[in-house]
Amino acid sequence: MNEIIELGFWQMAAAYVFIILLFLIIKARGINREKELFIGTVRMTLQLVLAGYILAYLFEANNVWLVILVVILMQIFAVRNIFRRVKYRLSKRIKQMIMFSMAAGTLTSIFYFILVVVQVSPWFEARYFIPIAGMLIGNSMTGISLGVQRLVEGMYDQRAHIESALMLGAHPKKASERIVNQAFDAAILPTINSMVGMGIVFLPGMMTGQILAGLSPVTAIQYQIAIMLGIVGCVSLTVILFVQLGYKAFFTDRAQLDKKELLLISSKEK
Amino acid sequence: MFLLKNVTYGNILEIQELYIPPGKVTCITGESGSGKSTLVKLLNNIISADRGTITYQGTPVEQTDPVELRRKVVMVPQTPPVFGGTVKDNLVAGLEFSGHPPAEDSLLTEVLKTVCLEKKLDESADQLSGGEKQRLALGVALLLEPEVYILDEPTSGLDETTERKVIENIYRNISGRGKMLLMITHSKAVAEEYGEIVVEMADGKVAGVKERHR
């Protein structure tokens, strides 16, 4: 059982047959989702095949500039994805805060992880740098999207509360404290929940992949624990940076609610 | 004291000159949409004028730290929201907002009596009616002991008897201590009885200022 089973053509084909069966069932039941299932399957296949070749090339080349380029592309993709995911129209100021929090939070975490935890040498070793950066950036992207959504929504829905607190002499920070905390909670909870269920409810993808690829479960688990801690830390750091900056966008320098910012949000769905 | 000169705010308000003296009760009256709320919001600096100057005790409000100013010039809006939790939580939140230390329960209960709110401190604030929420917010303002109390229609959700009682209590609490009460009211009777200065607003302008002795 120590040998790794390579998936051959017919074995891969059998995996697709499984989806085709599902496709037929969906069609027979009249559930109008066969188009999405088809596009999804094709997209996933093409993306992964492409990613496989690109990763193989990057690992082979192991060039510092290529690694930096990949991380920059990941950041751009993540930030654009955050802008798209949030239902509200965002001002330039909030967008800049998102970009700053993502860059500062994820880069700090990536380098801590690479240099202190895994102690990769050279630091740009593509085999480690790219997957770790991908996981930390990807999870932070999800976290910060939830945080932005909740912060923007909270500031808009509770503007009367905030203004009422300001009228009594509250600092903007104090007046929006509850909303900032709720935004942080919303952003970090899914990550904490997935950490709690890990190993019991499901085996995480990375670990499953490593075990199937022949690595000892103990080593796979060590990596998984380290990665999970890295993800929680990284998501927390990026979200804290964002919410601590983000609320300020809603106030003028006279500590008044910024009506322009609220107006932009009230124009709502993009 | 406040002095407003050539103040405009959008097309809502245009005031050439208005002087509001210290240590007195000033009532602001006028039809809906006459600019009363905008005027008091400018004094609390929760909004800023487009043009003109507003001074509080000789210093332009735009040159004062806005948070410090609001701690001296406290405002209660017409429909104040509750901050969740109990009646006590709301009173304590008000103190926290303005940087005050927490107060003893006996003082909190005393304040509730002053604003005629017969509720226990541990009762849920979310269950309060509109008029009760207003009184709770008035209680918060009283706890803060600012130099100026700006109350926007503080008793609009109350019946006439309770309204009189609440205003009388607030008046007694404030008067004779050099504090200033600025109150928007729809009630001519309240303005005539309590207003030492009555500012009549119409179409965003000051239509008249009357001085009375109580």
Which ipTM was obtained for this model?
0.95
Q: Which chain A residue has its CA at the smallest distance from B70's CA?
A: A169
Rounded alpha-carbon distances, angstroms, from residue A135 to A75, A77, A80, A82, B182:
12, 13, 17, 16, 58
DSSP B51: E
How far is the C-alpha of A197 from the C-alpha of A262, rounded, in Å? 38
Domain ranges, ordered by start, for chain B: 2-211
Who contacts B68 (Cβ-Cβ below 8 Å, separation ≥6)? A169
In sequence order, what are the beta bridge partners of B198? B27, B210
Residues of chain B with Cβ-Cβ distance to A161 below 8 Å are 81, 83
How far is the C-alpha of A238 from the C-alpha of A227, rounded, in Å? 16
Using pLDDT thresholds of 50, 70 and 90, give the confidence band for residue B67: very high
Tell how strand B51-56 and strand B59-60 pair up. Answer: antiparallel
Who contacts A138 (Cβ-Cβ below 8 Å, separation ≥6)? A78
* Interface contacts A/B by beta carbons within 8 Å: 64
pLDDT at residue A270, rounded to an integer: 56
Residues of chain A with Cβ-Cβ distance to B137 below 8 Å are 164
pLDDT at residue A265, rounded to an integer: 85
Q: Which chain B residue has its CA at the smallest distance from A172's CA?
A: B67
Question: Are A128 and A120 a contacting pair, CB within 8 Å?
Answer: yes
How far is the C-alpha of B168 from the C-alpha of B194, rounded, in Å? 8
Phi (first) and psi of residue B210, to 5 degrees: -115, 145
Give the CATH number of domain B2-211. 3.40.50.300
Q: Which chain A residue has its CA at the smallest distance from B41's CA?
A: A167
pLDDT at residue A144, rounded to an integer: 95
pLDDT at residue A1, rounded to an integer: 45
Question: Are B214 and B194 a contacting pair, CB within 8 Å?
Answer: yes
pLDDT at residue B82, rounded to an integer: 92
Render the burial of A125-141: b for 16+ CB within 10 Å, e for the rest. bbebbbebbbbbbbbbb
Residues of chain B with Cβ-Cβ distance to A255 below 8 Å are 66-67
pLDDT at residue A264, rounded to an integer: 87
Note the pLDDT tens digit of each residue in B1-56: 999 999 999 999 999 999 999 989 999 999 999 999 999 999 999 999 999 999 99
Who contacts A89 (Cβ-Cβ below 8 Å, separation ≥6)? A264, A265, A267, A268, A270
Domains of chain A from N-terminus onward? 8-61 (no CATH), 64-266 (1.20.1640)
pLDDT at residue A109, rounded to an integer: 96
Q: Which chain A residue has its CA at the smallest distance from B65's CA?
A: A254
Task: For residue B197, give how far its alpha carbon lies from the nearest alpha carbon of chain A (Å).
Answer: 23
Is the CB of A160 less than 8 angstroms away from the CB of B94? no
Average pLDDT for residues B114-118, to the nearest whole number?
93
Rounded alpha-carbon distances, angstroms, from residue A6 to A9, A104, A213:
10, 40, 9
pLDDT at residue A34, rounded to an integer: 79
Task: For residue B202, give how far its alpha carbon lies from the nearest alpha carbon of chain A (Å).
Answer: 25
Task: For residue B67, give how far its alpha carbon lies from the nearest alpha carbon of chain A (Å).
Answer: 5
Q: Which chain B residue has its CA at the smallest distance from A176's CA?
A: B97
Tell how strand B180-184 and strand B25-30 pair up. Answer: parallel
Note the pLDDT tens digit of each residue in B181-191: 999 998 888 89
Is the CB of B66 less than 8 angstroms away from the CB of A170? no
pLDDT at residue A260, rounded to an integer: 87
Is the CB of A175 less than 8 angstroms away from the CB of B97? yes
Residues of chain A with Cβ-Cβ distance to B49 below 8 Å are none
Pick from A164, A168, A254: CB nearest B98: A168
Q: What percent of chain B has a predicted confidence (pLDDT) above 90?
A: 83
Q: What is the SS3 assignment for A198?
A: strand
In sequence order, what are the beta bridge partners of B20? B2
Question: Which stretches of chain A drop beneath a pLDDT of 70?
Answer: 1-4, 201-203, 268-270
Residues of chain B with Cβ-Cβ distance to A169 below 8 Å are 67-68, 70-71, 74, 97-99, 144, 146
Is the CB of B77 less than 8 angstroms away from the CB of A174? no
Is B140 an interface residue toward A (CB < 8 Å)? yes
Is the CB of B97 less than 8 angstroms away from the CB of A169? yes
Pick from B66, B81, B137: CB nearest A254: B66
Please report which helix (H) or strand (E) contains residue B25, including its range.
strand B25-30
pLDDT at residue B180, rounded to an integer: 94
pLDDT value at B81 more than 80? yes
Contact residues of A toward B, CB < 8 A? 158, 160-161, 163-171, 174-175, 252, 254-257
pLDDT value at B132 more than 70? yes
Pick from B76, B79, B98: CB nearest A170: B98
Task: For residue B49, give how far its alpha carbon lies from the nearest alpha carbon of chain A (Å).
Answer: 12
pLDDT at residue A225, rounded to an integer: 87
Is the CB of A170 less than 8 angstroms away from the CB of B67? yes
Provide the whole-model pTM. Answer: 0.86
Pick from B75, B97, B146: CB nearest A174: B97
Q: Is the dihedral of CA B178, B183, B188, B189 positive or negative?
A: negative
